[in-house]
Amino acid sequence: MQMALSTHHIPRPDYANDPEGYPASEATRAAFQIQVLKEEEIAKMRVVSRMSREILDLAASHVKPGITTDEIDAVVHEATIARNAYPSPLNYRCFPKSVCTSINEIICHGIPDQHVSVYFDGYHGDVNGTYPVGKISEEDTNLIRTTRECLDASIKMCKPGALFRDIGKVIEPIATANGCSVVRSYTGHGIHKLFHTVPNIPHYAKNKAVGTMRPGMTFTIEPMINLGPSYAADEHWPDKWTCTTSDGNHSAQFEETLLITETGVEILSAAPGTTVPFSVGRLNAACGVMITASHNPKTDNGYKVYWENAVQIIGPHDKGIARSILDNLEPSISAWDVRGVLESSLCHDKTQELVEAYFVQLLKLSRTRTLNPRADVKFVSTAMHGVGHRFAARAFEVFGLKPFFPVESQKDPDPEFPTVIFPNPEEKGALDLALAEADKQGALYVLAQDPDADRFAAAERQQVSAFRPVRHVDVANAL
């Protein structure tokens, strides 16, 4: 292996130390039976899948003209080790890198390939994406869009009772209609304690895959789509891993790790939500709606609506919206069935695209990224029991800053808001835990977001140890 693990205490899968990289656990009798996971196993899959997504998004933020795949591999390796996790591809059947990066005509398993897999607490997560580098052709843009559409459409059909063989029946017509073809040599797969296991999930129609989806099953869908009519994937480089198209046309791939639930499907590796105003502006949308669980008491939870210019609609302009909600406080029984919306051809999940765009845009704001890793300034950040922690952590990574110290008891979303009376940074006492953590860590700055991450506050340590709130004008001047 070209890169050795820098930490030896990290638990590793069985193949990690095997001279042949042989995953013996994948050859046991249990490996040939589709597993239904228990609640505690599902919880671990959620953790490792979110971790895989975080690392993939971090790697994606570094994608730009001139960067090498080895540099991306280093980002993934270091980010994985920093989380006390093991990069699943490393030494798997002697694969020599921590991430698989496939460029242009490379279908998959490029050394490395923008395909992040992580092993943590005994379970594997698996996710990948395709990213434009600089300006790309209309053909390639269509290829990437088509590939994502293939994956999203196939996820929509996943539910208890659905057949694994029908996934390909959804994917192939979309690819064909857009002048593309579906690779047949590689499939999606079961994943949990084992990196690759049953079920095998072909992405083309008229396949003979066996198995019916049941609640508790976890697996990946990861269609590889080629430009043009040729789906052949028989060309391999001498490294025996790097697989290319036979005609030199470009190829794209997206992947998510999924869990079948009692009522449908959960995307375990889904990208975190991004800000609604950014999305409205990015998509040139007619409006944006945010459903909030950001207040205490919970009866005050509500909504925010944004104009087409991405500015929030507030009183008196929102009277019509408020009246409509008050007139419909008791939704009809059919209103709870959202399948019609989710299965509609007019419904598009743009989350992944928007998250990528958000952090690419954020990276452009970092004018001192090469200097930031040397900065000794310490930060404490609190998400106030909301959704902001993961975004703030990734923003620090994008800027090259050392990780901040989180307020652990306020880091994860919790609609009960157990540590604060009102979870807004400007409320009296709301930052007490953050300030105490700052004293403990000797931090110079405290950063805080409200639970739906649309309100930001900061405080700066003074010479006498007290903290001074940073005014909005100060933040604006700093930016």
Confidence of residue 246 (pLDDT cuts 50, 70, 90): confident
The per-residue DSSP string of 401-416 comes to PPPPEE-GGGSS--TT
- Residue 226 in tokens: 């080629």
H helix and E strand count, the chain: 11, 21
Evaluate whether 188 touches 222 at the Cβ level (below 8 Å): yes
| Residue 285 pLDDT > 80 | yes
What is the per-residue pLDDT for 470? 67
Confidence of residue 177 (pLDDT cuts 50, 70, 90): very high
What is the per-residue pLDDT for 453? 67
- Residue 274 in tokens: 């991004």
Which residue(s) pair with 405 in the sheet?
Answer: 380
Average pLDDT taken over every residue of the chain: 85
What is the per-residue pLDDT for 264? 87
Evaluate whether 110 touches 100 at the Cβ level (below 8 Å): yes
Distance CA 1, CA 90 (A): 8
**H/E element holding 180?**
strand 180-182
The whole-number average pLDDT for the span 10-18 is 94
What is the per-residue pLDDT for 477? 52
Distance CA 356, CA 460 (A): 31
What is the per-residue pLDDT for 299? 63
What is the per-residue pLDDT for 207? 97
Residue 447: phi, psi to the nearest 5?
Answer: -115, 140
| Residue 184 pLDDT > 90 | yes
The whole-number average pLDDT for the span 44-73 is 87
What is the per-residue pLDDT for 300? 62
Distance CA 316, CA 287 (A): 17
| Residue 5 pLDDT > 50 | no
Q: 394-417, pLDDT tens digit by residue? A: 888 888 889 999 999 998 888 788
Distance CA 220, CA 259 (A): 9
Distance CA 461, CA 444 (A): 5
Percent of the chain with pLDDT over 70: 90
Residue 133: phi, psi to the nearest 5?
Answer: -115, 110
**H/E element holding 379?**
strand 379-382
* DSSP single-letter state for residue 226: E
The per-residue DSSP string of 122-160 comes to TEEEEEE-----SS--HHHHHHHHHHHHHHHHHHHT-ST
| Residue 479 pLDDT > 60 | no
| Residue 121 pLDDT > 80 | yes
Evaluate whether 433 touches 409 at the Cβ level (below 8 Å): yes
- Residue 304 in tokens: 């925010």
* Residue partners of 106: CB distance under 8 A and separation at least 6: 113, 242, 243, 244, 251
Q: 350-392, pLDDT tens digit by residue? A: 887 788 788 877 877 777 778 888 888 999 999 988 888 888 8
**Dihedral over Cα of 266, 271, 273, 278: its sign:** negative
Evaluate whether 32 touches 26 at the Cβ level (below 8 Å): no
Evaluate whether 257 touches 214 at the Cβ level (below 8 Å): no
**H/E element holding 58?**
helix 39-60
Q: Which of 44, 53, 13, 17 is nearest to 356 (CA)?
A: 53
Kindly calculate the radius of gyration of the chain based on its CA atoms and give it in whole angstroms: 23
The per-residue DSSP string of 97-132 comes to SSS----TTEEE--SS-SEEEEEETTEEEEEE----
Distance CA 73, CA 96 (A): 11
At 22, the amino acid letter reads Y
The whole-number average pLDDT for the span 253-269 is 91
| Residue 4 pLDDT > 60 | no
| Residue 163 pLDDT > 90 | yes
**H/E element holding 241?**
none
* DSSP single-letter state for residue 54: H
At 211, the amino acid letter reads G
Distance CA 27, CA 263 (A): 32
Tell me the CB-side half-sphere exposure of residue 15, using CA atoms within 13 A: 24
Distance CA 209, CA 186 (A): 13
Distance CA 52, CA 257 (A): 10
Number of other residues whose CB lies within 10 A of the CB of residue 187: 23
Confidence of residue 112 (pLDDT cuts 50, 70, 90): very low
Q: What angle do CA 207, 210, 212 make, to 5 degrees?
A: 120
**Dihedral over Cα of 424, 425, 431, 434: its sign:** positive
